[in-house]
Amino acid sequence: MWRTMCENTAADSQQLSACFGELGSVLSNMFHSGLWTPDDIINIIDQITITPEDWLAENVACLLHTSGPEIALLSVTNKARSGKTAEVAVTLTSLCLVQVKIRAKLTELINLVSATFQATKEKDRTAFLDQLARSFQDVIVDLYETDELGELINFVLFCFNRVCISLYKVYLVTLKAYLLY
What is the SS3 assignment for 1-17?
CCHHHHCCCCCCHHHHH
Give the span between the Cα atoms of 114 and 58, in whole angstroms: 20
Question: How many Cβ atoms from other residues are within 10 Å of residue 95's Cβ?
Answer: 26
Query: pTM of the entire structure?
Result: 0.82
Amino acid letter, residue 114: S
120-125, Cβ contacts within 8 angstroms, sequence gap of 24 or more: 120/80, 120/81, 120/85, 120/88, 121/81, 121/83, 124/80, 124/83, 124/85
CA dihedral 122→123→128→129, nearest 10 degrees, is 70
pLDDT in tens for each of the 181 residues of the chain? 566 666 667 767 787 787 888 989 999 999 999 999 999 999 999 999 988 788 889 989 999 999 999 999 999 999 999 999 999 999 999 998 888 888 788 788 888 988 998 899 989 988 988 898 888 888 877 776 766 556 666 666 776 777 777 666 666 666 666 666 5
Give the span between the Cα atoms of 31 and 134, in whole angstroms: 33
Give the span between the Cα atoms of 108 and 103, in whole angstroms: 13
